[in-house]
């Protein structure tokens, strides 16, 4: 398994959690973003900076990702593309996306985007906090224990 991290908007609170697991388990990891993102120094981590532009990092992750790899991303359309490759995706708040739930998340995301485009002001997601980081750590560690 290779771990891919969608570096765009990767929360700082998650960096030490992920780095500890990468080091402890020797997980080959690729951090992909359109600017330099540093989650820490490790011989297991490769940093890849892609061209500027919407979804460039996402396209590169999808291109590289293979069956049973894991992608950490908050981008639901990216998670959908990953799931369709029989790989795994987990978001920053600890949601493990699956065949069973990804279409529901995608539909809700598209509905909210449509509402915002119509001019309606909607509140965004609540600020990322320690409770979210804890939920992520629990889900991430449970996933890694199976693989």
Rg value, the chain, Cα: 15
pLDDT tens track for 107-120 = 887 777 777 777 77
Segment 8-19 shows an average pLDDT of 94
pLDDT-derived band at 124, boundaries 50, 70, 90: low
Q: Which residue in 39, 84, 28, 32 sits closest to 58, CA to CA?
A: 32
Segment 77-87 shows an average pLDDT of 96
pLDDT, position 8: 82
Break the chain into its structural domains and give their ranges: 3-146
Residue position matching structure tokens 């485009």: 117
Strand 3-6 vs strand 70-72: parallel, antiparallel, or unpaired?
A: parallel
Q: Would the CA dihedral through 87, 91, 96, 102 be positive or negative?
A: negative
> What's the pTM?
0.90
Segment 63-68 shows an average pLDDT of 97
**Which are the contacts of 118, defined by CB distance < 8 A and separation ≥ 6?**
none
Segment 38-53 shows an average pLDDT of 95
Strands of 45-49's sheet in order across: 45-49, 29-33, 3-6, 70-72, 88-90, 96-97
What does CATH list as the number for 3-146?
3.40.50
């Amino acid at each position: 398994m290779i771990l891919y991290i969608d570096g765009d908007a990767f929360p700082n609170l998650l960096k030490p959690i992920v780095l500890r697991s990468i080091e402890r388990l020797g997980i080959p990891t690729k951090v992909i973003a359109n600017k330099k993102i540093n989650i820490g120094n490790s011989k297991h981590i490769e940093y890849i900076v892609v061209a500027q532009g919407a979804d460039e990092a996402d396209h590169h992750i999808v291109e590289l990702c293979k069956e049973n790899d894991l992608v950490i991303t908050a981008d639901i359309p990216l998670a959908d593309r990953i799931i369709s490759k029989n790989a795994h995706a987990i978001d920053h708040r600890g949601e493990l996306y699956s065949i069973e739930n990804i279409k529901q998340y995608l539909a809700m995301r598209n509905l909210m985007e449509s509402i915002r485009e119509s001019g309606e002001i909607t509140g965004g997601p609540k600020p990322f906090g320690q409770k979210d980081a804890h939920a992520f750590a629990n889900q991430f560690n449970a996933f890694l224990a199976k693989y």
